[in-house]
């Protein structure tokens, strides 16, 4: 029953259904040919293949084929007997995940050069907001009362984006030996900074909207709001790694949480949490 439920979960995605159908009818296929049939980006195809990894095997020519479990998955697809209750619960969770992970936006980065300007704008808007609010950017964190100049804060914020991209490149290779698709990853990483782009503007708006707020209340509200945005950032950055490097969400979370923990450790060493 557990396997059957997993089959249904995998087969709800149209791209994965196409991959299973192609392999079920064609028996085996190389990555390049599969990508051409699907008309998707490299990272997206790798992501779906990774999701189906327990149901696939590769021969000596590196061509993909269904293993025994994959053939059962194909038969399940052809029978088309997904229980209605499972479809309803799946549809709800799928809609929720779309909003939470911005999946429709990341899916459009399969042609990354079209979306790269959007990614750059997001980063620059965040950088300008941090500079206006006099907040030092430290990847997932902000520190008020910056002593840096306006231009230095902007530069620091932009370097956070570049640093996160380089971190993802290094650790996805170190952990999973995944290389290539750099432009899509670069684009996705910028989009994933949306929550951290919002924070400086909330920090600026609160005193204007609520002029009688005490400093203690202001700090409590901003830190609580930042925590929510940090959690959302982890989810979006994980989604960015999924699409940019074609790895499953559980693997992407390992990379993004490693980034978070190293960020915290470095800030403790530098005394920023004192």
Domains of the chain: 2-95 (1.10.10.10), 102-269 (no CATH)
Give the pLDDT confidence score for residue 149 in this predicted structure: 95
Token look-up 């030092």 returns: 136
Give the pLDDT confidence score for residue 197 in this predicted structure: 96
Q: Is the pLDDT of residue 119 over 50?
A: yes
Residue 2 neighbours by CB distance under 10 Å: 6
Distance from the Cα of residue 10 to its chain's centroid: 19
Give the pLDDT confidence score for residue 72 in this predicted structure: 79
pTM, rounded to two decimals:
0.76
Q: Is the pLDDT of residue 2 over 50?
A: no
Q: How confident is the model at residue 30 (pLDDT cuts 50, 70, 90)?
A: confident
């Amino acid at each position: 029953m557990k396997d059957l439920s997993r089959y249904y979960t995998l087969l709800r995605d149209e791209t994965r259904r196409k991959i299973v159908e192609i392999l079920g009818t064609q028996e085996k296929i190389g990555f390049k040919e599969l990508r051409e049939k699907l008309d998707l980006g490299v990272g997206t195809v790798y992501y779906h293949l990774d999701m189906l990894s327990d149901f696939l095997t590769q021969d000596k020519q590196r061509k993909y084929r269904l293993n025994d479990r994959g053939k059962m998955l194909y038969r399940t697809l052809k029978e088309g007997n997904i229980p209605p209750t499972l479809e309803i619960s799946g549809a709800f969770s799928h809609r929720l995940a779309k909003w939470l992970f911005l999946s429709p936006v990341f899916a459009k980065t399969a042609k990354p050069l079209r979306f790269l300007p959007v990614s750059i704008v997001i980063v620059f808007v965040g950088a300008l907001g941090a500079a206006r609010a006099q907040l030092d950017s430290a990847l997932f964190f902000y520190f008020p009362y910056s002593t840096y100049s306006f231009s230095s804060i902007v530069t620091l914020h932009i370097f956070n984006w570049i640093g996160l991209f380089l971190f993802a490149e290094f650790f996805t290779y170190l952990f999973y030996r995944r290389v290539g698709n750099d432009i899509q990853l670069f684009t996705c990483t910028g989009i994933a900074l949306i929550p951290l782009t919002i924070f400086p503007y909330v920090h600026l708006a609160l005193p204007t909207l609520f002029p009688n707020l005490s400093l203690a209340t202001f700090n409590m509200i901003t830190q609580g709001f930042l925590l929510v945005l940090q959690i959302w950032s982890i989810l979006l950055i994980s989604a960015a790694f999924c699409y940019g490097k074609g790895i499953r969400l559980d693997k992407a979370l390992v990379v993004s949480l490693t980034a978070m923990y190293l960020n915290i450790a470095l800030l403790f060493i530098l005394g920023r949490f004192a």
